[in-house]
Amino acid sequence: MIDLPGSDASVHPDAQASLDADGTPLGRRTRWAVELLTTREAPREEDLSRNFVPVFLARHPRGFGAVLEQWRGLGPFTVTDYQPVAHKSWVTLTGPAGVRSTLSLTLDSSGLIRVLHLGPETVTPPVHAWEDLERALEQPGVTWSALVTRTDGAATETLYAKDADRPMPNGSSYKLYLMRALAEAVAAGAVGWDDEVTVRPALRSLPTGDMQELPDGTRVSVRETAYKMIAMSDNTAADLIQDLLGREAVERAVVAGGHSDPSLLRPFLTSHEVFEIGWGAPGIRAEWEAADEAGRRSLLERIAGPMTVRGSDLGPTVHRLGLDWHMSAWDVARVLGALADDGTADTSGAVDAILTAYPGIPVDVARWPRVVFKGGSCPGVMMFCWLLEDPDGVRYTLVLQQCADDQKLIGDGQFLRGTGGRVIESGLLSGTSR
Domain with residue 108: its CATH number is 3.10.450.280
Name the pLDDT band for 332 (thresholds 50, 70, 90): very high
Question: Per DSSP, what are the bridge partners of residue 115?
Answer: 106
Q: Is the same domain home to 373 and 250?
A: yes
Burial of 78 (0-12, 13-18, 19+ CB in 10 A): middle
Residues 130, 132, 138, CA angle at the centre, nearest 5°? 100
pLDDT in tens, 132-163: 999 999 999 999 999 999 999 999 999 999 99
Residue 278 lies in a domain: no
Residue 293 lies in a domain: no
Q: What is the pLDDT of residue 2?
A: 38
Q: What is the pLDDT of residue 3?
A: 42
The candidate with the shortest Cα–Cα distance to 65, out of 47, 53, 78, is: 47
Question: In angstroms, rounded to a whole number, what is the distance separating the alpha carbons of residues 313 and 186?
Answer: 37
0.75 surpassed by pTM: yes
Residue 40 lies in a domain: yes
Annotate 365-417 with DSSP letters as a single string: TTT-SEEEEEEEEETTEEEEEEEEE-TTS-EEEEEEEEE-SSGGGTTTSHHHH
Name the pLDDT band for 214 (thresholds 50, 70, 90): very high
Q: Are 145 and 329 in contact (CB under 8 A)?
A: yes
Q: What is the pLDDT of residue 316?
A: 92
Q: Which of 60, 94, 120 is the last residue of a domain?
A: 120
Q: Is the same domain home to 89 and 141?
A: no
The least confident of 10-19, 111-120, 253-262, 391-400 is 10-19
Q: What is the pLDDT of residue 8?
A: 47
Residue 324 lies in a domain: yes
Structural domain harbouring 380? 127-270+317-434
Q: What is the pLDDT of residue 434?
A: 43
185, pLDDT greater than 70:
yes
Q: Are 112 and 51 in contact (CB under 8 A)?
A: yes
Q: Is the same domain home to 257 and 356?
A: yes
171, pLDDT greater than 50:
yes
Q: Is the same domain home to 153 and 28?
A: no
Q: Is the same domain home to 134 and 224?
A: yes
- Taking residues 352-362, report their average pLDDT: 97
Q: Is the same domain home to 42 and 157?
A: no
- Taking residues 335-360, report their average pLDDT: 97
Q: Is the same domain home to 146 and 37?
A: no
Q: What is the pLDDT of residue 12?
A: 59
The least confident of 41-50, 161-170, 182-191, 339-348 is 41-50
Percentage of the chain modeled with pLDDT above 90: 87
Residue 312 lies in a domain: no
Name the pLDDT band for 64 (thresholds 50, 70, 90): confident
Q: What is the pLDDT of residue 13?
A: 64
Q: Which of 120, 152, 178 is the last residue of a domain?
A: 120
Q: Which of 120, 142, 163 is the last residue of a domain?
A: 120
Q: Is the same domain home to 102 and 54?
A: yes
Residue 364 lies in a domain: yes
At 334, is the secondary structure helix, strand, or coil?
A: helix
Q: What is the mean pLDDT of the chain?
A: 93
- Taking residues 294-316, report their average pLDDT: 95
At 224, is the secondary structure helix, strand, or coil?
A: helix
Task: Return the DSSP state at 213.
Answer: G
Residue 370 lies in a domain: yes
Name the pLDDT band for 39 (thresholds 50, 70, 90): confident
Q: Is the same domain home to 235 and 332?
A: yes
Residue 395 lies in a domain: yes
Question: In angstroms, rounded to a whole number, what is the distance separating the alpha carbons of residues 127 and 132?
Answer: 5
10, pLDDT greater than 90:
no
Question: In angstroms, rounded to a whole number, what is the distance separating the alpha carbons of residues 107 and 271?
Answer: 22
Percentage of the chain modeled with pLDDT above 70: 96
Q: Is the same domain home to 48 and 132?
A: no
Name the pLDDT band for 43 (thresholds 50, 70, 90): confident
Instruction: Give the phi and the psi of residue 286 in degrees, each rounded to 5.
Output: -65, -40
Q: What is the pLDDT of residue 1?
A: 31
Q: What is the pLDDT of residue 99?
A: 94
Report the CATH number at residue 419.
Answer: 3.40.710.10
Q: Is the same domain home to 73 and 137?
A: no
The candidate with the shortest Cα–Cα distance to 356, out of 337, 347, 369, is: 369
- Taking residues 196-201, report their average pLDDT: 97
7, pLDDT greater than 90:
no
Name the pLDDT band for 9 (thresholds 50, 70, 90): very low
45, pLDDT greater than 50:
yes
Q: What is the pLDDT of residue 170?
A: 97
- Taking residues 18-30, report their average pLDDT: 96
Instruction: Give the phi and the psi of residue 17 in degrees, each rounded to 5.
Output: -65, -40
- Taking residues 237-253, report their average pLDDT: 98
Domains contained in the chain, number: 2
Q: Is the same domain home to 81 and 138?
A: no
